[in-house]
Amino acid sequence: MIKVGIIGGSGYTGGELIRILLNHPQVEIDFVYSTTRAGKKITSAHGDLLGVTDLAFTGDVNLNVDLVFLCLGHGNSTKFLNENPFSENTKIIDLSNDFRLNDDAVFQGKEFVYGLPELLKADIKKANYIANPGCFATTIQLALLPLAKENKLQDNVHINAVTGSTGAGVSPSATSHFSWRNNNVSWYKPFTHQHLGEIGESLASLQENIGELFFLPNRGNFTRGILATVYTKYEGDLESAKVIFNDFYKDALFTQISEEPIHLKQVVNTNQCHIHLHKHGNTLLVTSAIDNLLKGASGQAVQNMNLMFGFNENEGLNLKAGVF
């Protein structure tokens, strides 16, 4: 058993972490820290856990736990770590974007490893500090990494991806409240989304001189999940592409190549990524789908935890989608 702490436990990613870890046979939740709900029961923020736990949020931090998850807004993890010097024996998994890029990976002498298991599993197993990937970044990288490994990204890549409202966080905003989001779809941050940096660095680690990435993110009128359609020129036939993808993911527990077209309900509430390949002329279309709160955040964080501590990679993550 290991003891873990969660910083920022009242948000969506914190709630999903609590849900998973309460059912993880190798983990005891030592504390769930919240500045806004200290002293209140966990169920005051996460009603889905009513009858599951009597834990309460706390304003105190145990600096000697085995592992701490940072579920803070982007830019706040560095501030929190400066104010809370955890023990050298405490491993850290950060779910913000503070340490994902190469230039930000070393902080206070701690070297953060990028936590995409399908790319860096061996490094994650040896790491003490993990920068958990972004949700869009996870979806898009898993669609493109096999092609980069085989030096097949020789042309520009076009990406259109739609995400649910939970991707914007638990605090209401002009574009996330029900009246605006319901029966509505819109794009945002066209071609400039912050996840492009980490996507580009991962692809560059496998292939030099990739084409330009044109990424158009969209807000969907649903709560959770990301569906990405990615297409680029590809000289081989569809069967050769399937060989490339199946070989790349042959040992990946949570990334599956589907012969049939995929949809979001297959992956929502799971830690799975589903991928489908389609060829049209000289263009290869790769569709990928994940749950933004699980494979795109908390589920992948637990997957990384399992690798770091030598647990079975899928421990606590055998979650089933509800497709009806």
Neighbours of 271 (CB within 10 A): 25
**Torsions phi, psi of 186, nearest 5?**
-155, 160
Q: How would you list the strands of the sheet with 113-114, edge to edge?
A: 27-33, 2-7, 67-70, 91-94, 129-131, 113-114
Contact indicator for 243, 236 with CB cutoff of 8 Å: no
Query: Tokens in use for 256?
Result: 């599956």
Secondary structure class of 312 (helix, strand, coil): coil
What string of DSSP letters covers 30-75?
A: EEEE-SSSTTSBGGGT-GGGTTT---B-BS---TT-SEEEE---TT
> Which residues partner with 81 through β-bridges?
none
> Which residues partner with 288 through β-bridges?
228, 275
Say whether 135 is catalytic.
Answer: yes
Out of 32, 93, 127, 135, the active site residue is 135
Show which residues are catalytic: 135
